[in-house]
Amino acid sequence: MRFVLLLLWCLRWLPRSWVVAMGHALGTLLFHWGRRRVTLINLKKCFPLMTEAQRERIGRGVFRNLARSTLELGRVWYSPVERALDNVKLLDRQHFDAWYGKKPVIVLAPHFVGLDIGGARFSKEYPDVFSMYSEQKNKVFDDALRRARKRFNNATLVTRQQGLRPVLKMLKDKQPFYYLPDMDFGAKDAVFVDFFGIKTATVTAMARLCRITGAKVVPLVTRQTADGYEARFYAAWEDFPSDDVEADARRLNAFLEERILEMPDQYFWVHKRFKTRPPGDPSFY
């Protein structure tokens, strides 16, 4: 792990075009040595009408884009702050600014490949943002990740092990919450609702937090472009939460589906999104 961090530190000196090319080459290799099987299973479940060749083309793109974004973290983590994010745009800020400081805001950030880079730009512009993350087993990497996520504003990081109590407190203080709920965290505090037509364990915490704090949900989706990244805000969700937990979870998944169809090769398909199944259903993996 120390070698990987040293590599990222060194990559900050290289031209962007070199890092992009290295990322694409690395991703091509990892498609054969990494989570290819998981990725293709996910794509087959979500896009059954596509041909195998079409799904494989998307899968290759996922690995290329993900590897590129990982190598570009070297610039974000270690370049001087004033130029670390100069190729990352923050768009349609009016959707967030309309509520910032007036109400609690949950910034819904789905797992696209530019997630960390878009989050860094957001935190630089809004220093009181906080986020939740999972502690890493490797202590060296965990320390590096903490430093990287705090370098632009000394942001507060809440671990999943701490639960929602500190989240509630900071939301009530109107600190924006950069929230990443679109993964399989198990059946606890989740409901099974459709995601591309598949009953998928979907967390209900976002609706619950909104119900308790009165928070608005403002999505922020990061897209990887040819020469950088664009983190775009979307309009705050109206009439959320409802009195139907499953309908609220389905609304989250429907929003994800729309964004994924816009850039299917940038979603985090390497994750076992369907690992938790309804009782009696066999594993996909």
> At which residue do the structure tokens 């979603």 appear?
267
Residue 201 has pLDDT above 90, yes or no: yes
The position carrying tokens 């091509």 is 28
Give the model's pLDDT for residue 14. 93
Assign 81 a pLDDT band (cuts: 50, 70, 90): confident
Please indicate, yes or no, if residue 246 is contained in any of the structural domains: yes
Lowest mean pLDDT among 3-7, 51-55, 70-74: 3-7
- Mean pLDDT value of segment 165-184: 93
pLDDT, average across residues 35-60: 97
Distance of CA 54 to the CA centre of its chain: 24
Q: Is residue 282 part of a domain?
A: no
SS (H, E, C) the chain: CHHHHHHHHHHCCCCHHHHHHHHHHHHHHHHHHCCHHHHHHHHHHHCCCCCHHHHHHHHHHHHHHHHHHHHHHHHHHHCCHHHHCCCEEEECCHHHHCCCCCCCEEEECCCECCHHHHHHHHHHHCCCCEEEECCCCCHHHHHHHHHHHHCCCCCEEEEHHHCCHHHHHHHHCCCCEEECCCCCCCCCCEEEEEECCEEEEEECHHHHHHHHHCCEEEEEEEEECCCCEEEEECCCCCCCCCCCHHHHHHHHHHHHHHHHHHCHHHECCCCCCCCCCCCCCCCCC
pLDDT tens profile 248-261: 999 999 999 999 99
Q: What would the mean pLDDT of 48-68 be, rounded to a whole number?
A: 97
82 class by beta-carbon count within 10 Å (0-12 exposed, 13-18 middle, 19+ buried)? exposed
CA dist., res. 72 & res. 23, Å (int): 8
Query: What pLDDT score does 152 carry?
Result: 83
Kindly indicate the confidence band of residue 195, based on its pLDDT and cuts at 50, 70 and 90: very high
Total domains present in the chain = 1
In a domain, 272, yes or no: no
Lowest mean pLDDT, pick from 31-45, 82-96, 155-169, 187-201: 155-169
Which residue in this structure is represented by tokens 């705090």? 150
Percentage of the chain beyond pLDDT 70 is 100
Q: Is the peptide bond before 241 cis (omega within 30 degrees of 0)?
A: yes
pLDDT at position 16: 93
What is the pLDDT at residue 126?
93
Residue 96 clears pLDDT 80, i.e. is over it? yes
Indicate the residue type of 248: D
Residue 149 placed within a domain: yes
CA angle 182, 178, 171 (to 5 degrees): 115
The encoded tokens of residue 212 equal 């308790």
Q: Which of 104, 89, 87 is nearest to 171 (CA)?
A: 104
Range of the domain at 163: 2-266
Cβ-proximal residues to 147 (8 Å cutoff; 6+ apart), any chain: 77
Residue 134 has a pLDDT of 76
- The predicted pLDDT at position 144 comes to 78
The 3 state secondary structure assigned to 128-173 is CCEEEECCCCCHHHHHHHHHHHHCCCCCEEEEHHHCCHHHHHHHHC
- Strand 216-224 and strand 156-159: the pairing is unpaired
Q: β-strands 177-179, 105-108: how paired?
A: parallel
Assess if residue 12 is contained within a domain: yes
User: Average pLDDT in the 11-25 region?
Assistant: 94
User: In this predicted structure, what is the pLDDT of residue 161?
Assistant: 77
**pLDDT-derived band of residue 160, with 50, 70 and 90 as boundaries?**
confident
In a domain, 198, yes or no: yes
Give the mean pLDDT of 137-160: 79
Structural domain includes residue 280: no
- Average pLDDT value for residue range 207-230: 97
pLDDT of residue 46: 98
Q: Given this model, what pLDDT does residue 137 score?
A: 77
Looking at residue 159, its pLDDT comes to 80
Mean local confidence (pLDDT), 241-247:
96
How much of the chain, in percent, has pLDDT values that exceed 90? 80
Q: Tokens 């409802």, residue?
A: 242
Residue 158's pLDDT band, with cuts at 50, 70 and 90, is: confident
Residue 274 lies in a domain: no
